[in-house]
Amino acid sequence: MRTTLAHEAVHARRGPCPRWLIPREELAVHAQAARALIPIGRLGEALAWSLDPRVVADELEVTPDLVDARLQGLGPDEYATLWNPTAHHRQAGA
C-alpha cells in the first residue's frame, strides 16, 4: 500500500503527461517512488543482510520491483555508499 501511495503521490506532483509518453512516465514515476521510499542507508543495511530482492523488499516494507527500481537508479555516490556494507557478499563468492 505504501508503494502505491508513493507512486500516486509522484504522479500528482508531476501532473498530467501526453498519452504517448505514458510508458516512459510510468518508469520515471516508479524510479522516483523507489527513491522516496528507500533511503540509501536503509538499503545498505538490508543488502548487508541479503542480496535477494524479495528479502530486501520485506525488510524495507516495499515491493521487490521497487527494490529493483531503486538499485537500477543508483548514482555513483550511492553505489559507493553500498560498497562496504555488501563487501562480505563479494568475498563469500571469491
- Tell me the per-residue pLDDT of 10-40, one tens digit each, with 9 for 90 and over: 979 988 989 999 999 989 999 999 999 999 9
Q: How far apart are CA 8 and CA 88, in angstroms?
A: 37
pLDDT at 89 over 60: yes
Determine the Cα–Cα distance for residues 38 and 7; give it in Å rounded to an integer. Answer: 13
pTM for the model stands at 0.84
